[in-house]
Structure 1
Amino acid sequence: MKSLTLLSAAAVFCAAALLSVPCAAQDAPAWKVSIRDVFLGKNTFDSPAAGLKQLGLDTVESNLDRDYTMMDLETAERVSVKSDDEAKAYRAKLDALGVRCCALLTAVDFSAGDHESNIQWIVRAVEIADILGAQAVRIDSAMKQERELDFDTRVNLFADNLSEILKRTEGKNVALGIENHGFQGNNLAFLLNIYTKVNSPRLGSTLDTGNFYWRGYPLGEVYGILRLLAPHAKHTHFKNINYPEDQREQIREAGWKYAEYACPLEQGDIDTVKVLQILRDAGYTGTLCMEDESVGNCKTRGERAAQLERNTNHMRAAIAALK
């Protein structure tokens, strides 16, 4: 297996330094804990709004489908936000519920489909996010051709598309956050080269705290990678994995036994307080969004809700530990 060590990323360290401004250590920001709306469905709560209330949360990341629909927080049904009027009506419902949408989750494969259609899709997502008051649009880094195209071609494909999207949405107070996701997206050189090529303050990372560990990096190196990417963070996803002790500092195959070892945030190998220290020192002020995929292993509504409550309490305790 090819080495995944941070030594292989040394060549891109300077690029990271050029694009980031170190911040002095400081008290924990007034971070909001948020959650993806996919965890608030009727298989767990009577309604998404009821779920937020039970968890004591008022901030949510919402999935925006390609047909421009989002989950209604009162009914859990998909509703259109395609037009400005529809998006404004959705925002009014959020305001009435006392809920803020912190980010929109989108998926687009820049190596497939119609080039212009892909760009228009994300441009409109940014416009909708701006109406909703969301701080970021999550960009998926996975591509069907990611193992076929060479490195420079993939970087240029991403950079050219994102540059055009940023150009067409100039003036919008919404960032694009590329999630470190899948095989390609968990390649540090890939991400840093895109940031360098695009060179926009509105482009950065949807920093997933568990995905580099999923990709096979040893635990100690995961923290090192997070330190390099934290200055670029526009949004976050928090998940955790509890690997056997003899595997934690080993290089593993991507996705090795993830279904077996994915776990609640408090039970995993990744130290949430340590990650928050990294984000704090990098000056990150966005939300801390929970994405615990091990919730899917729970058998009942009650078990799922209880695990989400424990995750929420864990995040709050980790924030408090920084003060």
Structure 2
Amino acid sequence: MSSCWRSSEQGVVSSEQASGGQSLGGIVRPWPQTGREEMEIDMAQLGVINYNWPGYDLEGFAARASEIGYTSCELQIGDIWAGEGEHAEQRAEDVRRLFEKHGMQISAVEAGNDFLQADPEELEAQIRRYRRVCEVVPHTGTDIVRSDGGWNRGDQVPQDQWDGMMLEAFQHCAEFLEELDVRIALDNHGVTTNDGDWQLSLIERVGSERLGVNLDTMNYLWYGHALDRIDHFYEILAPHVFHTHFKDGKGSRENYKGAALGEGDIHLDHAVACLRKAGYDGAWTAEYEGPEAEGGVGYEKCYKWLQTNVPV
């Protein structure tokens, strides 16, 4: 029997609010030292990722997403920092203010990391870069660094080395997570991390409460897992979820077709139920890869589904 239940029942989840700090994912944290003294109040986080919005620059995306109704968003580190220069923190604060102007919070920042490197010096460089990303991210107002495992570009790393290499990298990263007050949300993405049992194993072996999951509801199907297996992944990972990508679609690999939430094959109601049971109180973030990206039409459909089916 499933350890979670399927349900369309709606509920209300409230998040703690505090003056002089920020409430993200139910955790109230002090802002970085940016001179902000006014009270920050977390809004219900029906969120969206800054991806597949053709024709929109960053501010245009913020305006359109806010117009639809979204109150949080995930950004990529490239939206904030190009990897060079000394003013990344200031740029992060400017971007945060841009989204605040449109009534939005930043729920996570994608790190763009790649921990599968054939050259040990390149792996060390990736870890140093990752630390720098973790220094910058809190200035956006979130503590969540959405992360990949690795891409193995050029097929230079044999598959039997993937696990050990990613484990070593995340163990090194865990050494500075508390110091920098950030959390890692490991995505099930591509071919290297798209297995929920492996994700849980990595979390347990690293042994840091600051390593969790960005749960992408569709990517497991894209990889080729059966729907009942995917439901199992939702069940075992729900207590470790820091962030989400709610995404729907049909098929795997070359047969994959993205869809608006509720229009594909994914058991989204089961994912919601598992997260509710685990007490998840972070952002419910839509990701859309269907054919109606122009003008944010697909993301409008996703917002309506979230509004109806998610307890905020």
| TM-score normalized by the length of structure 2 | 0.77
Structure 2 unaligned residues grouped into runs of 5+: 1-8, 15-43
C-alpha contact (below 8 Å) 1:272/1:315 kept by paired residues: no
Q: How does 1:1-323 map onto structure 2 within 5 Å?
A: 27-30=11-14, 32-42=45-55, 47-65=60-78, 68-69=81-82, 82-112=87-117, 114-144=122-152, 145=155, 148-150=158-160, 153-243=161-251, 255-258=253-256, 261-294=257-290, 297-298=291-292, 301=294, 304-319=295-310
Q: 1:156 to 1:200 in 2, by over 3 A?
A: same
Distance 1:317 1:146 in 2: 46
Q: Which has the higher helix share?
A: 1
C-alpha contact (below 8 Å) 2:92/2:136 kept by paired residues: yes
State the AA in 2 paired with 1:232: H
Distance 1:44 1:265 in 2: 24
Deviation at 1:228, TM superposition (A): 0.9
| TM-score normalized by the length of structure 1 | 0.74
State the AA in 2 paired with 1:116: E
Bigger shift: residues 103-112 or 43-52 = 43-52
Structure 1 unaligned residues grouped into runs of 5+: 1-24, 71-78, 244-253
Aligned to 2:29: none
Distance 2:73 2:82 in 1: 16
Deviation at 1:82, TM superposition (A): 4.7
Distance 1:176 1:83 in 2: 20
C-alpha contact (below 8 Å) 2:92/2:139 kept by paired residues: yes
Deviations 1:293-322 (A, max 9, x none): 11xx238x3xx42221111010110125xx
- The root-mean-square deviation of aligned C-alpha atoms, in Å, is 3.0
Deviation at 1:242, TM superposition (A): 3.3
After superposing on structure 2, the runs of 4+ consecutive aligned residues of structure 1 that deviate more than 4 Å are 25-28, 43-46, 79-82
State the AA in 2 paired with 1:94: F
Distance 2:12 2:228 in 1: 23
Aligned to 1:12: none
C-alpha contact (below 8 Å) 1:35/1:61 kept by paired residues: yes
C-alpha contact (below 8 Å) 2:66/2:102 kept by paired residues: no
Distance 2:217 2:45 in 1: 17
Q: SS in structure 2 opposite 1:269?
A: coil
> May I ask how many residue pairs the two structures share in their alignment?
271
Distance 1:89 1:138 in 2: 20
Q: 1:122 to 1:44 in 2, by over 3 A?
A: closer
